[in-house]
Structure 1
Amino acid sequence: MQSWRSGQGTGPGAATPQHRSAQHSYPQNWTPHLDKHDFYFNFRNSEKAKDRRNTFLCFQVEGASTSSKRVCSNQVGGLHVELSFLSWFENKLLSHAQQQQYQVTWYLSWSPCDSCAKQVANFLATNRNVRLTIFIARLYYFKRPQNQVGLRRLVSQGVRMNAMSLQEFSQCWEAFVDNHGSVFEPWENLDENYRCQADKLDEILRGSRSLLREETFCLHFNNQRRLPKPHPHRRWYLCYQLVLPNGVLLDKGCLQNKKKRHPEIRLIFRILSMELDQAQRYRLSCYLSWSPCLQCTQELGKFANKHKNLDLHIYTARLYCHWLRYFQKGLYLLWKYKVPMTVMGLQEFDDCWKIFVDQEKPFPAWPKLQQCSDKTQNRLNRILQGSCIPGHTPTHPSLPFLALPAWSLNDLKDALSDLSLSQ
Structure 2
Amino acid sequence: MGPFCLGCSHRKCYSPIRNLISQETFKFHFKNLRYAIDRKDTFLCYEVTRKDCDSPVSLHHGVFKNKDNIHAEICFLYWFHDKVLKVLSPREEFKITWYMSWSPCFECAEQVLRFLATHHNLSLDIFSSRLYNIRDPENQQNLCRLVQEGAQVAAMDLYEFKKCWKKFVDNGGRRFRPWKKLLTNFRYQDSKLQEILRPCYIPVPSSSSSTLSNICLTKGLPETRFCVERRRVHLLSEEEFYSQFYNQRVKHLCYYHGVKPYLCYQLEQFNGQAPLKGCLLSEKGKQHAEILFLDKIRSMELSQVIITCYLTWSPCPNCAWQLAAFKRDRPDLILHIYTSRLYFHWKRPFQKGLCSLWQSGILVDVMDLPQFTDCWTNFVNPKRPFWPWKGLEIISRRTQRRLHRIKESWGLQDLVNDFGNLQLGPPMS
Scaled by the length of structure 2, what TM-score is found? 0.44
> Larger Rg: 1 or 2?
1
Scaled by the length of structure 1, what TM-score is found? 0.44
